[in-house]
A and B are shown apart, each in its own frame.
Chain A
Amino acid sequence: MSAGLRGTVSIVGVAESDLGRVAEGTTSLDLAAQAAGRAAADAGIGLHEIDAVFCATSHYAMSGLELAEYLGIRPTYSDSSNIGGASFVSHVLHAAAAITAGLCTTALIAYGSTQLSDGGKLVTASLPNLYETPYGPRYPVTMYALAAARHMYEFGTTREQLAEVAVAARQWATITPNAFRSEPLTIEDVLSARMVSDPLTVADCCLVTDGGGAVILTSTARARDLRRPAVPVLGVGEAHWHRSISEMPSLTRTAAADSGARAFAMAGVSPSDIDVVELYDAFTINVPLFLEDLGFCEKGEGGPFVSGGRIAPGGELPVNTNGGGLSYTHPGMYGIFLLVEATRQLRGEAGERQIPGADVALVHGNGAVLSGQATAVLGTLDAL
């Protein structure tokens, strides 16, 4: 049945807010709203044509109420569901269903965060976990370190292979305007950086920045008449199996296997059809894990797969073409930026980092501690 959603809606506008370190006193809502205004301008529509608001932030539990109020929008459809940094990709699924069901016509997905200005501490509305917090994990890096350690134990993945992910991200960032970190980075730099939680050094960890983003979707029928080339949503799926790392069934297998299979089935494509991959690299281990679970390589082969520059500029499979959460920007919930970058690639407007002839892109969002997973396959109108 879900195959009926294939291509029914399209991304018609994308934008980022100010990134990096924003002006003092700026709120996360200011950034979400700034991005929303820029995305509406990109789409060539008025902000008040938006009748559905999808929002998730770390700062506001009722973020949809906050953002709609700020923008003066009175939505007919409102969704503040939060599965962590994957929320915005899951919102694409929810928006496609709502638009196709006739519950709304024009959906805004938006996010903002001032995590850097706030002092770099992870803002979270979650209560402490009674069965984990007493043992002193640093959320979330300790949890990802446990997954990395287990992957190394089961499959022989090495720290050098994880470092390849950070180096590839940095190489993409050097050709991306506005990247937060663009100075050269070597494997040796990653290995000798300060250890945070074994086996992950600070260079295996995502950035801490401010920033926001916004994506606007409408029916593909309407999208064809709008200002920018339409980017149809060919397939999208979400899945989650756990919230806390203690409850994750296997630390080397994520629910991306389900969300990805659902997105591929709806789109009617397979990993070999994908021209460009944008996936949530909160920590270097994410990239091999997700490439395995999404079917780009066999389980356990992620380490060798990312090595030798395969995912770097000029490599066989372009992954995280803006430098990702490791080098481009990471305000805490990175998922919205995956959609923005994939859209730019499919519109052919990615400048020096453009993948020539990119027709089909995969976006994969991750939330919490390898918990919330959401995958989308986006395309050009030609791929529809």
Chain B
Amino acid sequence: MTTDRIEESPAHRYQAGLAEGELRFQRCEHCQAAVFFPRVVCPHCGGTELSWTRSEGTGTVYSTTTTRSRSGDRNVALIDLDEGFRMMCTVRAEAGRDVAIGDRVAAIIGAGTTPETLAFERLAAQ
């Protein structure tokens, strides 16, 4: 019997994590690379054994922009998570200060009023 049938899609496993309050990513069992977006093959080594891990949700802004539209301004950022993967997300606005490259940020899950269930907010300077 082959055992590599996809029983739960990578997308569903990821979204189920958010619904349970977790930001999930994958690690390759073969090369240990952090993998995001979720998938069934490791893009670093071609390995097919990927395990799911909970991210601490802390990271650094790699790049950021404010996209303007009639419905309002919106931050779009790329975040480098501390575990070694990158993702797009929104960093919440803070009065009087723009989001900047290099800002330390933390994930907020499930608390958004925006369509997505995940956003980031700036961590207070240590």
| Least CB separation from A137: chain B residue | B76
Asked if B87 and A246 sit within 8 Å, CB to CB, the answer is yes
Knowing A130-B11, A135-B116 are in contact, say whether A149-B64 is a contact too (CB < 8 A): yes
A25 in the interface, Cβ–Cβ < 8 Å?
Answer: no
Asked if A135 and B37 sit within 8 Å, CB to CB, the answer is no
Asked if B86 and A195 sit within 8 Å, CB to CB, the answer is no
A147 to B62, CA, bound (A): 10
The distance from the CB of B80 to the nearest CB of chain A, in whole angstroms, is 11
Partner of A198, one of B36, B37, B66, B90: B66
Stretch of A45-53, A83-91, A138-146, A165-173 contacting B (4+ beta carbons < 8 Å): A138-146
The distance from the CB of A98 to the nearest CB of chain B, in whole angstroms, is 30
Dominant secondary structure of chain B at its interface with chain A: strand
A194: which B residues are within 8 A, CB to CB? 68
Partner of B65, one of A132, A134, A197, A246: A197
A317 in the interface, Cβ–Cβ < 8 Å?
Answer: no
Partner of A131, one of B65, B87, B102: B87
Interface residues of B in 39-77 (CB under 8 A from A): 62-69, 74, 76-77
A147 to B102, CA, bound (A): 15
B89 in the interface, Cβ–Cβ < 8 Å?
Answer: yes
The distance from the CB of B120 to the nearest CB of chain A, in whole angstroms, is 10
Asked if A136 and B76 sit within 8 Å, CB to CB, the answer is yes
Asked if B88 and A246 sit within 8 Å, CB to CB, the answer is yes
A316 to B105, CA, bound (A): 45
The distance from the CB of A326 to the nearest CB of chain B, in whole angstroms, is 19
| Least CB separation from A200: chain B residue | B65
Asked if B88 and A149 sit within 8 Å, CB to CB, the answer is no
| Least CB separation from A251: chain B residue | B63
Asked if A131 and B76 sit within 8 Å, CB to CB, the answer is no
The A/B interface has a contact count, at CB < 8 Å, of 72
Partner of A135, one of B66, B69, B89: B89
B115 in the interface, Cβ–Cβ < 8 Å?
Answer: yes
Asked if B67 and A245 sit within 8 Å, CB to CB, the answer is no
Knowing A146-B76, A246-B37 are in contact, say whether A132-B88 is a contact too (CB < 8 A): yes
B77: which A residues are within 8 A, CB to CB? 146
A150: which B residues are within 8 A, CB to CB? 62-63, 101
Which 4 residue pairs of A and B lie closest in terms of their CB atoms, listed nearest first? A145-B65, A134-B116, A146-B63, A150-B63
Which A positions have Cβ atoms within 8 angstroms of B?
130-132, 134-138, 141-142, 145-147, 149-150, 153, 194-199, 245-247, 251
Which B positions have Cβ atoms within 8 angstroms of A?
11, 36-37, 62-69, 74, 76-78, 86-90, 101-102, 115-116
Give 21 CB contacts A-B under 8 Å: A135-B76, A136-B67, A136-B76, A136-B115, A137-B67, A146-B63, A149-B65, A150-B62, A150-B63, A153-B63, A153-B101, A194-B68, A195-B66, A195-B68, A196-B67, A245-B78, A245-B88, A246-B37, A246-B86, A247-B86, A251-B63
